[in-house]
Amino acid sequence: MFERYMVTPEIPFDLNNIDPNFSENFKNKKDVEKEFSKLKEKLCDLQDILYAEGKRRILIVLQGMDTAGKDGTIKHVFKEVHLQGIRVANFKSPTATELAHDFLWRVHKEVPGNGEIVIFNRSHYEDVLITRVHKLIPEKIWIKRYEHIRNFEKLLFDEGTIILKFYLHISKDEQKKRLIERRDNPKKRWKLHKEDIEERKYWNDYINAYNEVIAETSTFYAPWYIIPANKKWFRNYIVAKIIVKKLESLNMKYPDPEPGIENIEIE
C-alpha cells in the first residue's frame, strides 16, 4: 500500500524518475482533509499506547533540500501528539567538540528511549551529503560512512528502535517558488540567506549524492521513503499515513495494571 514510496535495495532507484507533483488520485487538499484528520487522531492514540507501553523507540528521520518542508511536516503531522513523549532533534553545524569526535557521536546521544518518538530534523545523513557536495572531507572518509550508518541503524533496530526515513522530494522550480515566498514575506524573510540561493547551483550535485546515499542506506530495518512533496497537503497526508500504518503493525498494548488494583479502596 505505501510500499510504492519505499526504496527497496532490489529495485534500481533514481530521484530524477520520481514526480514531485504526484498525489495519487487526489486533486486537492479537500480530498484528503477528512482522512488526514483521522490519521492525526490515530497517531495521537497510538502515541499514547507507545508511551504507556514503554517498550519501543521510534526514530523518524527527515531529509530534503532547503524548503522541502521538514519544519512544515513536523508542525502539521504531529500537531495533536502529546508533547510528553515526542521530541525534535536538530543537527546544525557541528560545534568544535562535536567535530572532535566521530560523526555519529552527537547523533547517538539524541536517539529515542523507550516509549519515545524522536524526529531528526536533518541528521547524520548531512555528513555524507553537504560534506561531500562541498568537498569538506575527502572521499576516502565519506565513502566508508555508508557502512557506518548501516551498522549504526542496525544496532538501534536490534535493540528495539523502529526507524522511518523520509526524503521530502520537491522540484527545483518548486524550491524557487518557495524561496520567493520567503523573500516576500516579512515574517519569514529573516530565514533567507544569500547562501541559500548560492546553494541552488549545486542542485544536481545534491540529487546525485542523495541518489547514492539513499540506495546505499535503504535497508529492511531502516527503509527510506521518497515522499512527493510539491503539494504540501499530500506530503503531510502520506507521511502521517506511513507512520500510522507502521505503529498499527506493532500491535502495542497498554501495560497490565498492578494485580488487584481495579478493586482497591480509595479513601
- Which residue type, as a one-letter code, is found at position 119? I
Pick the stretch among 74-82, 155-163, 217-225, 239-247 that binds a second copy (CB under 8 A).
74-82
Closer residue to a second copy, CB minimum distance, 4 or 188:
188
Question: Buried b / exposed e across 192-226, counting CB within 10 Å, b at 16+?
Answer: beeeeeebeeeeeebebbbeebbbbbbbeebbbbb
Distance CA 216, CA 197 (A): 29
**Contacts of a second copy in 27-66 (CB under 8 A):** 48, 52
Closest CA to 69 of 193, 178, 213: 178
Residue from 99, 136, 143, 180 binding a second copy (CB under 8 A): 180
How distant, in Å, are the alpha carbons of 12, 62, 143, 158, 196 from that of 70? 26, 6, 26, 27, 16
The nearest distance, CB 171 to a second copy, in angstroms, is: 14
DSSP state of 229: -
The nearest distance, CB 23 to a second copy, in angstroms, is: 25
User: Judged by CB under 8 A, how many residues of this single chain contact a second copy?
Assistant: 43
Distance CA 222, CA 46 (A): 20
Residue from 96, 186, 220, 251 binding a second copy (CB under 8 A): 186
Closer residue to a second copy, CB minimum distance, 25 or 263:
263
The nearest distance, CB 42 to a second copy, in angstroms, is: 15
Residue from 4, 27, 193, 245 binding a second copy (CB under 8 A): 193
Under the binding rule (CB under 8 A), the answer on residue 216 touching a second copy is: no
Cell representation of residue 105: 557521536
The nearest distance, CB 56 to a second copy, in angstroms, is: 16
Q: How far is CA 19 from the centre of its chain?
A: 19
* Cell 520537491, residue located: 170
Under the binding rule (CB under 8 A), the answer on residue 220 touching a second copy is: no
**Cβ(210)–Cβ(166) below 8 Å:** no
Cell representation of residue 216: 546505499
**Contacts of a second copy in 79-138 (CB under 8 A):** 79-80, 82-84, 86-88, 90, 119, 121
**Cβ(195)–Cβ(213) below 8 Å:** no
Under the binding rule (CB under 8 A), the answer on residue 190 touching a second copy is: yes
User: Residues interacting with a second copy, by CB under 8 A?
Assistant: 48, 52, 71, 74-75, 78-80, 82-84, 86-88, 90, 119, 121, 176, 179-180, 183-184, 186-187, 189-194, 197, 200, 254-258, 261-262, 264-267
